[in-house]
A and B are shown apart, each in its own frame.
Chain A
């Protein structure tokens, strides 16, 4: 591999990466800093949550959610960040191929002595590296928080494992975007719309499934079902869930590779 495409794609995302990383890192520290205050009012909060309807309590994750550091981080960070970063990874995934075609820069790329699979792989790896850097900044911010605020008793190993899980989830969402980008010639807007709809639908099905029994059976069809962040935060690396996400990424990568290898470009 020449890594030229990887470097170019990563370089193009560097400002966005810093923006996302610093923003999410600051937000993570803010959330962690709130824990002491929440801990002081644990009894009242517990009472308030327990007085809510069962469905809603299930939706927010139970009474322990806000009264343990893992619960708070899960509820305030890992319930929202994958959705937010999910939109960004879709932008990167769709832009990887459809964006190059729309800008008409694809012709030059594919006439370089680089096979199509390598071009796509370098784009995938660049997207993966951008996501890994953003999550690494957030993970670092949370690790620092455990030093700054003694009540925030998060296990750093579990924290790292959780961010690896979040990365796998995001790459599976990005994989859908890559597949649409590789399969739909020049239909950038359609690709973006379909991938976003997939993300929102998966997110809603998974989260509403905790509260609505009718939806519950469909949870396992969403990628979010394989990133139970509370479990990752409490018990560390979840090999079973990780395996499913890795398998999903491998399928989406292979499918996007097949689509990209077999179609006309820039038409």
Chain B
């Protein structure tokens, strides 16, 4: 993952005094699925719309495929598929006519791929676009985002409105795209979706990128829950004194605690007693998310 696909430098967007995005420095590499995580209003869609040249940055710059997002937007758009968070269509068309319209506009032939995707998503392209359910709108959105096989996909809340079965199909499609070496930038507030799909995740809070980390590392290194069960009663206060230990809960023989970083001291202390059971649980992204944001902001 050495080739840079998306790079932003000090990218900012202000609306008067309101700062929607502040000094964003972000790098997305070729072939990765990058999760862009944050609660509603954090600036995820603002970032995407700025990258796509729908809105213009107040400061900073960005490149996609080493091309400037402002100067070379047309060349960039030819190489990407964009799935907006809100899908709206021209209601006086069928899905097939809509695909034809996009084919003409993109000057590419992609009906065969659209048919294949429609089959995977169990969607009839002859359906009118009028009065579609949210799930069906999302399906036609996914079809038209993927059908020209772009090297970069920018997906804004891609699975909202999809039923669990279709979410699974979507996840398969995304992994297939990644296996072909293509890149996916996926914005979501759905932690399970990000955890299931992404290689790395950027966490956005109130317009600021607070961290970028691999999902594996984030779930492994940030903190773990440790459950210890001893043969005899132990003094739990000794565990609380250890560096990196918090959220201690204990009764006479059982101790549950959260540990951040190195576990060596914890294991050595526990080993002074007879251990009946030890379990280590990785935190869910939800828990990591809460830790980053604090419960009130999540």
Contact = CB atoms under 8 A, between A and B. Distances in A.
A266 B54 contact: yes
A48 interface: no
Given A103-B88, A105-B89, A114-B74, A4 B101 contact: yes
Interface string B52-69: 111110000000000000
Contacts of B90: 8, 12, 103, 105
A265 interface: yes
B106 interface: yes
A104 B86 contact: yes
Interface in B80-115: 80, 82, 84, 86, 88-90, 92, 101-102, 104-107
Contacts of A106: 54
B75 interface: yes
A113 B56 contact: no
B74 A110 contact: no
A162 B80 CA distance: 48
B220 interface: no
Contacts of A108: 82, 84, 102, 144
A109 to B, nearest CB: 8
B77 interface: yes
A112 B89 contact: no
Contact of B106 (A3, A107, A112): A112
Contacts of B84: 104, 107-108
Contacts of B80: 111
Interface string B3-47: 000000000000100000000000000000000000000000000
A113 B101 contact: no
Interface of A: 2-5, 7-8, 12, 103-108, 110-115, 262-267
11 contacts: A2-B105, A3-B104, A5-B105, A7-B104, A105-B90, A106-B54, A107-B52, A111-B82, A112-B105, A112-B106, A113-B107
In the A-B complex, list the 5 residue pairs whose CB atoms are closest, starting with the nearest. Answer: A113-B78, A4-B105, A264-B55, A4-B104, A104-B88
Given A114-B77, A266-B49, 10 more contacts: A3-B104, A4-B104, A4-B105, A5-B105, A7-B104, A105-B89, A108-B82, A111-B80, A113-B74, A267-B15
